[in-house]
Chains A and B, each alone.
Chain A
């Protein structure tokens, strides 16, 4: 829409653009908060409605009914469901103390519950496992973006030539390989057969950088292969589509260098949809790369979640699910905001 009639003079077009961007971001953030509240409620209810009695899971076999009841009261499972949810949410902000007197124990804020199986606060379990998953995701993400966008652009620019055909063959194989298969394949070939690397044993990077890198390199490759293949395809198609745009032809007709046209005209248009998908893929990975972490025995959030499922460890299950959901919502919001910054048509209707 054009500037309205009677706009005061100091209201310059540039400040108008900035205000539009700020309200746009504010609106996205507000929406994200509402969404997070809804997600937490939904997740909590979903697990609370499971037929499993959470109190019965707190002690092993031959458990006395009195003990179960005592635990039920201690953990607050005797209260009606809305109160349980309220306590849960309150715990996130203030921390939570279970029981009274000697046997009381406290999970500091942000508390996501207490795991009886592992005798630890859920938040501290997640706190320990999350860095592993984060390093894994970040490394794989960087690797696949570089590989995928790079080869995709290259293939598009050499459309129909051998570079393009080769890429197309490799990506067809790449997208059809399941993660567990790639994982086992590289593990077997590099570690067991070629013996180039020792069996991965995770160490934190501050502790032992060499061990950290040798443990991470194979999982990174494993995770990156599949995504890189599909990002190559998306990028190639995006670049080809953008190259057909009239404004790209107009850019060439202006006398711009090919390099300039590709950078300012083609890639800008082609990468915007990729940002969206990449943000969501990365967030999904942060929630736990279950298969890769299992194959390479990495102590990450994915394995924590899997273990909580096999052990019926409800508090951990709720906690990990919720954290994963938070990442997705956050990524969505960030992607929307980036999208708005990259594409003026989104923020300035």
Chain B
């Protein structure tokens, strides 16, 4: 973990006004989508963010990429504060941070040819590639495993997996430093997921890319991430290396989440005790005081409601950024 910090979010908070009751339509609350998140992405590495719907992982991604402004907190790219960057500077910044979206069907304009789709970022940024634009596009297509001769085809002529490759090629067009991938494989079939994950890893290896990889699928994140942040109701509840997290989760929520994943091994050959959480995730509009997971936690005591646990190391040897957990009574391994 010695590689240098590339992208950093400090004390990020994003609240959305919610609802409007009464005649004058004042918001009656705020959705606390992201609430005090510290996060670090290191160069050439992959930061995985997992959590269930509504935990704030997608909002966090959009805040980090400056697609939306944080309510408070700051974002640093290579040590520079980019929280307040605007206008032309922001446009330049966009070259460095690109996104890959979940749905390969709706994130590509159906009326543009693949060549045009991949070239669009270069045209918008007025970056003329060496040689011709077409050459650069075909080079990118080759890079992501598409046939460069299909330059003039339209998105509907490609399968879901191929469309996601087009999305990846478009994200690579401007030689970004960071790629934020929001559920990039969850709309794809299992056999295709593996192809895309292999491609992303290959590209990272070849081009030295850094990824923020958001997914609800724990095994996908485990496979690709160097570090995983588990989110629950707008907070990071655990931050750890995947091996440690998956073999011995420290936060009760991480434990429940992992145990809920059905394993592709038949019943009799593995009898793991599954923790089935009761009830639903509370509303992020007026989240509970203290630990946000306390209401559903089997270990919760009064102190959990009284005081919110901070994200900190509980290990014997405190390692600066690895193995942090926000729990008063974490699972102790070994």
Contact = CB atoms under 8 A, between A and B. Distances in A.
Contacts of B25: 27
B318 interface: no
Contacts of A1: 19, 283, 285
Q: Interface majority SS on A: helix, strand, loop or mixed?
A: helix
B19 A26 contact: no
Nearest to B29: A1
B22 interface: yes
Interface string A71-83: 0000000000000
A349 interface: yes
B270 interface: no
A1 B19 CA distance: 10
Contacts of B283: 1-2
Contacts, number: 16
B23 A27 contact: yes
A349 B285 CA distance: 13
A27 B22 CA distance: 8
Interface in A1-33: 1-2, 20, 23, 26-27, 30
A27 B23 CA distance: 5
A37 B19 CA distance: 27
Interface string A330-349: 00000000000000000001
A27 B20 CA distance: 10
A30 B19 contact: no
Given A1-B283, A1-B285, A349 B23 contact: no
A27 B24 CA distance: 7
Interface residues of B, number: 9
Nearest to B286: A4
A27 B285 CA distance: 23
A215 to B, nearest CB: 46
A23 B23 CA distance: 6
A349 B19 contact: yes
Max chain A CB contacts within 10 Å: which of B22, B23, B25? Answer: B23
B21 interface: yes
A20 B23 CA distance: 11
A349 B19 CA distance: 7
A278 B294 CA distance: 51
B22 A23 contact: yes
A239 to B, nearest CB: 24
B282 to A, nearest CB: 10
Contacts of B285: 1
A1 B28 CA distance: 12
Interface string A165-176: 000000000000
Question: In this complex, which of B20, B21, B25, B285 has the most chain A Cβ atoms within 10 angstroms of its Cβ?
Answer: B21
Contacts of B22: 23, 27
A305 to B, nearest CB: 35
Interface string B13-32: 00000011111110000000
A180 B7 CA distance: 64
Interface string A278-321: 00000000000000000000000000000000000000000000
A29 to B, nearest CB: 9
Nearest to A30: B23
A20 B296 CA distance: 31
B181 to A, nearest CB: 29
Nearest to B21: A23
B171 to A, nearest CB: 32
A285 to B, nearest CB: 31
Contacts of B24: 27
Contacts of B23: 23, 26-27, 30
Interface in A42-80: none
Contacts of A26: 23
Nearest to A27: B23
Nearest to A5: B286
A179 to B, nearest CB: 32
Nearest to A29: B23
Contacts of A23: 21-23
Contacts of A2: 283
B16 to A, nearest CB: 13
A279 to B, nearest CB: 22
Nearest to A4: B286
B202 to A, nearest CB: 38
A20 B28 CA distance: 14
A127 to B, nearest CB: 34
Nearest to B280: A2
Interface string B58-85: 0000000000000000000000000000
A273 to B, nearest CB: 21
A1 B27 CA distance: 14
Nearest to B285: A1
Interface in B1-56: 19-25
A23 B19 CA distance: 13
A27 B25 CA distance: 8
A88 B22 CA distance: 33
Contacts of B19: 1, 349
A147 to B, nearest CB: 34
B119 to A, nearest CB: 34
Contacts of B20: 349
Contacts of A30: 23
B89 to A, nearest CB: 37
A1 B25 CA distance: 16
Interface string A227-257: 0000000000000000000000000000000
A1 B285 CA distance: 9
Nearest to B19: A349
Interface string B274-299: 00000000010100000000000000
15 contacts: A1-B19, A1-B283, A1-B285, A2-B283, A20-B21, A23-B21, A23-B22, A23-B23, A26-B23, A27-B22, A27-B23, A27-B24, A27-B25, A30-B23, A349-B19
Given A20-B21, A349-B20, 6 more contacts: A1-B283, A23-B21, A27-B22, A27-B23, A27-B25, A30-B23
Across the A-B interface, give the 7 residue pairs with the lowest CB-CB distance, nearest first. A27-B23, A349-B19, A26-B23, A30-B23, A27-B25, A23-B22, A23-B23
Interface of B: 19-25, 283, 285
